[in-house]
């Protein structure tokens, strides 16, 4: 298919394509669609499907013209994008809907967004502050008070007998007295604090690395990702038989607030994806065949009802490799920033 078009690079990630659909090509498709459309028309004096095109109203013809354009335009767009070797990161946007005039070529302009080229910044500048976390006695006292209020026990006073009962309820048979319980609580609180700090440090390190690498995602890509999240949410609610209005009321949130959160999450997700892809390439991160098969076995175990044919699908396997590669890159990056000793002590 011959696709007359011209390309104009607006900036490093925005391209405009001026595309032309030849009048004869459009007329050929339009006539076929109009003929198909007339099959369902029922006009007195003519058999159904035998209505002459000159008797079809102008309003109907305008609708068919627009539907013809909607059907043809994507083919011309995709051909131009393919010829220019453009990799869009969001659906192309029409600058305006073209006028469709008889016997004239149809010209229209689309804007295509691509991912800018980024390079890793100086990651030696990525520093995060690690705190020495401890559990205070008052925190243990608070946890014990919560257990006293929430758990039903025969013992009414906080003593060794009560602590032993709580230990059984917690399936912690090693708890034989109040001191054992306090040590158990202290250990659990320490793990909780360490886990929270690790998560916080990882997020801080990633954000600093993204900033240092000057990764700024084009807004159309963020908007598209947020729209996909909203679409997925709507489908999920529908499959569960849950009204979106009921969900919003139950969670005390508005759809505008959710859209704001989807936009924020989408921005952070794409930024992280871009950075980890860059980092993986820089560090030449590989996923071995053994690592891939181990991951697939894990998926099979955790998702026993998944369609088994997917496991041999080349595109799916390639997707899993990309995911594993980025996860592996993330672990290497965090070790580089926080240090292996710190990670070993907090795992």
CATH number at residue 85: 3.30.70.1050
Q: Would residue 220 count as lying in a domain? A: no
Q: Is 129 exposed, middle or buried (0-12, 13-18, 19+ CB in 10 A)?
A: exposed
pLDDT digits (tens, 9 = 90+) for 242-251: 999 999 999 9
Using CA atoms, how far apart are residues 312 and 167, in angstroms rounded to an integer?
48
Q: Would residue 217 count as lying in a domain? A: no
Given a cut of 60, is residue 53 above it in pLDDT?
Answer: no
Q: Would residue 209 count as lying in a domain? A: no
pLDDT at residue 103, rounded to an integer: 81
Given a cut of 80, is residue 41 above it in pLDDT?
Answer: no
pLDDT digits (tens, 9 = 90+) for 99-125: 888 788 999 999 999 999 999 999 999
Residues 54 and 21 in one domain: yes
pLDDT digits (tens, 9 = 90+) for 227-262: 999 999 999 999 999 999 999 999 999 999 999 999
Residues 76 and 156 in one domain: no
Q: Coil, helix or strand for 19?
A: strand
Higher-confidence residue of 272 and 345: namely: 272
What percent of the chain clears pLDDT 90, i.e. is strictly above it? 76
Q: Would residue 145 count as lying in a domain? A: yes
- Domain end, chosen from 113, 135, 161, is at 113
Number of compact structural domains in the chain:
3
Give the residue numbers spanning the domain of 108: 5-113
Q: Would residue 275 count as lying in a domain? A: no
Mean pLDDT of the 149-174 span: 92
Number of DSSP helices (H) and strands (E) in the chain, helices first: 11, 4
Q: Coil, helix or strand for 8?
A: strand
Q: Output the pTM of the full model.
A: 0.81
- Domain end, chosen from 113, 140, 169, is at 113
- Domain end, chosen from 113, 142, 161, is at 113
Residues 193 and 140 in one domain: yes
Q: Would residue 221 count as lying in a domain? A: no
Residues 127 and 187 in one domain: yes
Residues 89 and 126 in one domain: no
Residues 84 and 137 in one domain: no
Q: Would residue 315 count as lying in a domain? A: yes
Q: Would residue 257 count as lying in a domain? A: no
Residues 80 and 13 in one domain: yes
Residues 139 and 51 in one domain: no
């Amino acid at each position: 298919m011959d696709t007359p078009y011209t390309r104009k690079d607006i900036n490093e990630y925005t391209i405009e394509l001026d595309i032309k659909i030849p009048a004869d090509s459009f007329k050929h498709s339009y006539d076929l669609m109009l003929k198909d459309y007339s099959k369902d028309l029922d006009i007195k004096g003519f058999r159904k499907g035998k209505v002459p095109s000159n008797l079809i109203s102008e309003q109907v013809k305008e609708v068919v013209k627009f539907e013809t354009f909607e059907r043809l335009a994507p083919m011309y767009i995709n051909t131009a994008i393919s010829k220019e070797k453009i990799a869009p990161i969001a659906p192309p946007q029409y600058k305006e809907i073209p006028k469709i005039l008889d016997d004239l070529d149809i010209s229209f302009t689309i804007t295509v967004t691509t991912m800018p080229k980024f390079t890793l910044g100086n990651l030696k500048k990525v520093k995060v502050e690690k705190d020495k976390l401890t559990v205070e006695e008052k925190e243990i006292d608070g946890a014990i008070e919560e257990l006293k209020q929430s758990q039903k026990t025969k013992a009414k006073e906080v003593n060794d007998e009560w602590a032993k009962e709580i230990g059984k309820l917690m399936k912690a048979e090693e708890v034989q007295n109040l001191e054992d319980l306090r040590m158990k609580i202290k250990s659990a609180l320490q793990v909780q604090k360490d886990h929270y700090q690790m998560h916080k440090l990882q997020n801080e390190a990633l954000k600093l690395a993204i900033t240092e690498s000057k990764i700024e995602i084009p807004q159309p890509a963020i908007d598209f990702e947020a729209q996909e999240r909203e679409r997925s949410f709507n489908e999920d609610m529908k499959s569960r038989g849950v009204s979106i209005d009921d969900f919003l009321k139950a969670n005390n949130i508005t759809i505008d607030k959710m859209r704001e959160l989807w936009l924020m999450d989408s921005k952070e997700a794409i930024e992280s994806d871009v950075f980890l892809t860059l980092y993986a390439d820089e560090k030449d991160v590989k996923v071995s065949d053994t690592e891939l098969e181990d991951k697939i076995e894990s998926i099979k175990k955790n998702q026993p009802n998944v369609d088994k044919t997917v496991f041999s699908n080349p595109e799916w396997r390639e997707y899993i490799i990309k995911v594993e590669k980025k996860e592996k890159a993330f672990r290497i990056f965090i070790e580089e920033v926080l240090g292996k000793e710190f990670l070993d002590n907090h795992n």
